[in-house]
Amino acid sequence: MKYGVFSVSIPEYDVEQSVKLLSELGYNGIEWRVNNPPPAQKPDNYSFESRYWSFNHSTLDINNIERDAARAKSLCDQYGLDLISLTTYLRPHQADEVEKVLKAARDIGCRNIRVFPPDYNEKENYNTLFNRTVDELKVLVEMAARYGARINLEIHMGNIIPSASAAYRLVSHFDPKYIGVIYDEGNMVHEGFENYKLGLELLGDYIAYIHIKNAVWKKIGTSDAGAEIWKPVWAPLRKGYANLEKLVRNLKETGYDGYLSIEDFSNESETYEKLKDNLQFLKQLDEMTGGSL
């Protein structure tokens, strides 16, 4: 296994600091958050819990992605890290913007970019959303083939592929050389849980890499009818509902030997201590399940 970090989960560090830190701690690679840069000052809605999205300095500027991607690649080379992915928040209908990221990926030799499927909010029929997304992805996959990169869709609560089966139904229309799936067991605590091995076997060559995070369900109140109301919240890797030992074992059993990319949104520890402990924990799981492939 190889170990990386999705930079969304290290918001206090800028791009160069992020690379230095992960190299120092012994990680193998970094998955870059690609979005608008953070504001000059903390926004009004800033909180310690929201800093990942509202004030994230470990971000490549999507408006200047060719420049920022080239700089990030140079820093990764300097400190001996792989550049796992240019991970955007673009949607399938944003073909022009996606093409710019694909070009930047080609120019730096990066294999992967992320595109987000549309949300499912119960207002538009799922089948209509799904069929439109297939048509939009046809355009993106043709682009990916031209640029020699792969577009990856993340298993994520609240969108049209919250499970491995739903993701497979979408990507199976296309060649896995140019479209893939980011498998995310932490998101599936929120929505879409399926047996890990089932999902890994089903997705097969479509698996691009694995996101590692964890979550738990907590009671937050009671409905007017007297029923308990529960919601999922992020948790440290060692404390959540996801069975990461089983996941690592199942990954080995299905022949996966790529990246585990940590995306830890828990808030019990400072970022540095989380990064250090998470790497130690994953290496421990590797040893407990028989060592690296």
Is residue 292 over pLDDT 70?
no
pLDDT at 196 exceeding the cut of 50: yes
CA distance 195 to 6: 24
What's residue 146's pLDDT?
A: 98
Burial class (CB in 10 A: 0-12, 13-18, 19+), 143: middle
CA-to-CA separations, 19 to 76, 83, 128, in angstroms, rounded: 6, 10, 42
pTM value > 0.95: yes
269 vs 150, 235, 260, 265, 277, CA distance in Å? 34, 11, 21, 10, 10
> If you average pLDDT over residues 233-250, what whole number do you get?
98
Residue 22: which of 71, 92, 84 has the closest Cα? 84
- b/e code 43-58 from CB counts within 10 Å (16+ = b): eeeeeeeebbebbbbb
Nearest Cα residue to 149 out of 208, 194, 93? 208
Classify domain 2-288 by CATH number: 3.20.20.150
State the chain's mean pLDDT as an integer. 97
pLDDT tens, position by position, 105-162: 999 999 999 999 999 999 999 999 999 999 999 999 999 999 999 999 999 999 999 9
pLDDT in tens, 33-54: 999 999 999 988 899 999 999 9
Locate the domains of the chain by residue range: 2-288
Q: Enter the tokens of residue 59.
A: 């971000």
